[in-house]
Amino acid sequence: MTTITASPASFQTPSKIGSAVCEGLLSRQKTLPSWLFYDTAGSRLFEQITRIPEYYVTRTERAILEVHAPKIVARAAEGQALRVIELGAGSAEKTTLLLGAAVERQDTVFYEPVDVSAMALIEAQMRLESQVPGVLVCPRVADYTKNLELDSTLPSERRLVLYIGSSIGNFEPAEANALLKRVRAALVPGDCLLLGVDLVKDERVMLSAYDDPAGVTAAFNRNILVRLNRELDADFDTRAFDHRAVWNAAESRMEMHLVSLARQTVWLPGLDMRVNFVERETIHTENSYKYRPGQAEEMLQVAGFTTEATWTDERGWFAVCLARAEEATG
Ligand code: AVJ
């Protein structure tokens, strides 16, 4: 199967980028939305980040799935056939473990990765269909933060939605709650959500994960300026901005900033806008929320899910929660 659901070429239209950049750079604390990271170069840099020794996130979650995938899949299925949906699938690398466990139980597994990047979806489809026989990939190009409509299932099927990789950590608590509620609304009682969240840990561990000595994360952060230069014709001098990672304990999040090394003015002709920076002024480019044990389960409960099980690594750095959609009340 090699069909991509018909859709516009990109969901990040120039006007969407323009209005987000305009709003962000006119704020008192300048900000840029973290979804801007993921152009082709940025997606490649993120793939590289997942392999650097200091970035424990991907490796820790993968280790949990390596041990527990068969249990997770069995628990979600409850004897029925699973249809697996993944939000923000990207390269879907860790998903192989779950799909592998699912095809052990049923001959054919439908897998619907949802992502804004058609390229990432095609790559994931080609890799999965050759690596995991029995998996049928039905990719869907969509922005799951905007609309989340899932295909209806057969009575004998049960959905398992994957939202792994700590992607939810990019959202403010209120947005994260709203997103979980939208996921719940797209499901029927009995369907499951597998949520991967990064947990609070030693500050030094988190700081080096978001400011690696090889400078890959710095390049990932600066790539946002490269993208604005290309797509909005801006004239950011990328060497005039430093990468900075900070742990914001009060908000329980890692933050990434780009620090202006000098007083400077940037011109964005695409937006007909000039932006002034004083020395050391920052652009806040990302939040990556870290949760306390039990916190993800609370959020899931509020959104209408019951957490059936939580798996962590032995250091307690990352948690994977399996939550079931409850009967709707009221
Ligand atoms: C893809 C959002 C999970 O927050 O850890 C990696 C992105 N930012 N290094 C994360 C990221 C800096 C990543 N997520």
In a mutational test of the pocket of ligand 1, which residue from 166, 254, 291, 318 has the highest number of ligand atoms less than 8 Å from its CB?
166
Closest residue (by CA) to atom 2 of ligand 1?
Answer: 167
At residue 34, the pLDDT reads 95
Ligand 1 geometric centre to CA of 42 (Å)? 11
Mean pLDDT score, 94-111: 95
Q: Are 194 and 161 in contact (CB under 8 A)?
A: yes
What confidence tens digit (pLDDT) does each residue in 174-199 have? 999 999 999 999 999 999 999 999 99
Ligand 1 mutation pick, 195, 198, 288, max ligand atoms within 8 A of CB? 288
Q: Per-residue pLDDT for 323 more than 90?
A: yes
More confident residue, 156 or 320: 320
DSSP-assigned states of every residue in 222-270: HHHHHHHHHHS-----GGGEEEEEEEETTTTEEEEEEEESS-EEEEEGG
> Is the pLDDT confidence value at 129 over 60?
yes
Model confidence at 13: pLDDT above 80:
no
Contact between residue 162 and residue 293 where contact means Cβ atoms under 8 Å apart: no
When the pLDDT of each residue in the chain is averaged and rounded to a whole number, the result is 93
Residue nearest to atom 5 of ligand 1 (CA): 288
Calpha distance 73→317 (Å, rounded): 22
Q: What is the pLDDT of residues 280-317, one digit of tens each?
A: 999 999 999 999 999 999 999 999 999 999 999 999 99
- Grade residue 111 by pLDDT with cuts at 50, 70 and 90: very high
| pLDDT given for residue 119 in this prediction | 83
Decide: pTM greater than 0.85: yes
What residue's CA is closest to ligand 1, atom 4?
A: 288
